[in-house]
Structures are given as structure tokens and as C-alpha cells.
Amino acid sequence: MDDFDKLSDFSPNLFIMKKKNPLLNSCMKCHNNNNKSFLLLDGQENLQVPDVEEFLKKLNCTENNIKVKVVSIFGNTGDGKSHTMNQVFFKGEEVFQTSNEQNCCTLGVWIAFDPILNVICLDTEGLQGTYILCYYS
């Protein structure tokens, strides 16, 4: 058993729906990735899935009783968080939108499932000014 297997299991039953944020539409245009990832929490921290079934459906995680791990990445705006997640978990495929500029390509928390490693990946908004850059640029 390696350290990765010692992590506690993830339970999607923790998710509940909150109201949607219409201001997010200005940044949604960045995410044209053929539904390989989806918005879990918007920039206002509102959950974007109504229930566990929708959560699992959007993740394309259909196997019952599968053990998964959750990996999240945090860092400053423009540090390459999305790029890193794409390289490490998805063989360089652009599952999480990337940009060469410091703009609003990741607003809120985006999520995707790596079926090979059974990992739920969370790509987070930058810690310095993504919200401001997105809404006021």
C-alpha cells in the first residue's frame, strides 16, 4: 500500500445545490473543452450540481462502489495550475482550460475524473486577482 492509498475516500453525498450566479457567463466562454471538465463551484462559491446523481453523471463516473482519491491544486493566478493538472493526470490533453495570459480562464473550481488513476481532479481559481481580472477587464 502506498501513501496515495492511505488517503480517505471521497463522498459525493456532501454536495448540495445553491443558486447559480449569472455573472459567471462572462468567463464561461473560456471553457470550451467538450465537457471534459465542468464547473463545480462558481466564483461566488455556489455549488453548480443539484444532486449526487448529476455530479457522478457529469464526472462520467458510473461504476458503483469505486474508490477514488481527490487531488486539488492551489496557487497564484498565472502559475500554471490548469496546465499542471492536464499534464499530470490527462497526458497533456486540455481537460482544464489554459491560457498564455493572466486572465479568467479558471474562475471558481472546475472538476474532472481521471478513470485510469481513479482520481477526481479539482482545478481552482488563482489566488491573486482572477475574480477582479475577469469581471473588470
pLDDT tens-digit readout, 74-89: 888 888 899 999 999 9
d(CA 16, CA 49): 7
Contacts of 51 (CB under 8 A, 6+ apart): 15, 17
Which of 96, 87, 81, 105 has the alpha carbon at shortest distance from 29? Answer: 105
Domain-wise residue ranges, the chain: 35-136
The model carries a pTM of 0.70
Q: What is the spatial distance between Cα 68 and Cα 74, in angstroms, rounded to a whole number?
A: 20
Give 53-75 pLDDT, tens digit per residue.
899 899 988 777 889 999 999 88
